Amino acid sequence: MGTVMKRVVLATGGTGGHIYPAVATAQVLQQRGYAVTLLGQRGGMEERVAGEQRLDFVGVSAGKFARSVRGLDPRQAMKALRGLQEARQFLQRHRPGLVVGYGGFASLPGVLAAQRLGIPTVLHEQNARLGLTQRLAQRKARAVGTCYPQVVGLPPEKATLVGMPVREEWLLRQEANARLGLQDGPLTIFIMGGSQGSVALNTALPGVLRGVLGETGLLPDDGVQVLHATGPRWIGDVQPQVRDLHWYKAVGYVDAVAAWCAADLAITRAGTGTLAEAAFYGVPTIMVPLPSSAEDHQRHNARAVEQAGAGRLVEQEQVSRQLGAVVLECLQAEVRARMRQAALERSPQGAAGRLADLAEAHYRP
């Protein structure tokens, strides 16, 4: 008889900010001898990422909550109920010892089904205010791992500070460049507007960087190249803008580990996951917060990073007027060196292990 592996299900999906922390935790749990399954929306980004990471995946239906109204519209409610039943059937068959929920609408079927079946649940909350889906699940959760010492809407006795899990993988610069099709040697600017891309950044940055790099003589032959992850949906809009620039590489989707390992400077949104990765890899970051982020959390995130000296904040409406000058400042070696050190001091290294510790503490075979 072979040894029966301990099974954990990680309920996640929707955006990279929910998916990649689950991937990071999955890798640690696998190293500790657990069988790990990601459970999320069928056909969602999480299914693709799980395949790329060679992680077991189960897809279910998921109804999306509308932020502007209370609850779901009827069609979304039917999807949510169907997903709950599908998740319940899977969990009844496999009876994991724990389900970990990472927030977002795609995590709800797995978490709520587990709670109805009496399977222990642990949550991870990445923001300083408890999200809607986590508010629905936190009462029956055994514990909540957090990224901030205090989380609005979460009873303090349920909170355990773990940080934001990131995939703790490193590549040598040369290998990262080879994977990405970049040159060795030039200073690399990495642009990423989140896992789905950003229309605002995609629209503004090609023109801004064309102007600032050309006007200052910092052409790629002199040591600058750009890697711009547009999001798969928007690659057809960006590539025509930069087709004549051999130093500007636009791609729909990018290997994030390789991109961070290759980057000398990043221009990004200010989601918690993105900024945690920037800190882990020690990459100075110019942050353009999403103006419509819930409770304006991206602006708060960016201000904290700027105050720590690890990045610069540029408001979205000021990108065309201010970003070029900020890029020029951050291209100076001594400025980047200071920012890199400040970023590394904010590194979430070990967060995946701490969340795995919390999961193991509440695992019940």
As given in the structure block, the two tokens for residue 288 are 């353009």
8 A C-beta contact, residue 221 and residue 193: no
Distance CA 264, CA 247 (A): 15
- Residues annotated within the binding site for UDP-N-acetyl-alpha-D-glucosamine are 15-17, 127, 167, 195, 298
**Which residue, chain included where needed, has tokens 């040159």?**
183
Note the residue count of the chain: 365
Provide the strand spans (E) within the chain.
Answer: 6-11, 34-41, 56-60, 98-101, 121-125, 143-146, 159-161, 187-192, 224-229, 248-251, 265-268, 285-287, 311-313
DSSP notation for 37-94? EEEEETTSHHHHHHHHTT-EEEEE--PPPPTTSSS--HHHHHHHHHHHHHHHHHHHHH
CB 76 within 8 A of CB 101: no
Neighbours of 112 (CB within 10 A): 23
* Cβ–Cβ < 8 Å for 102, 22: yes
- Give the separation between CA 116 and CA 92, rounded to whole angstroms: 11
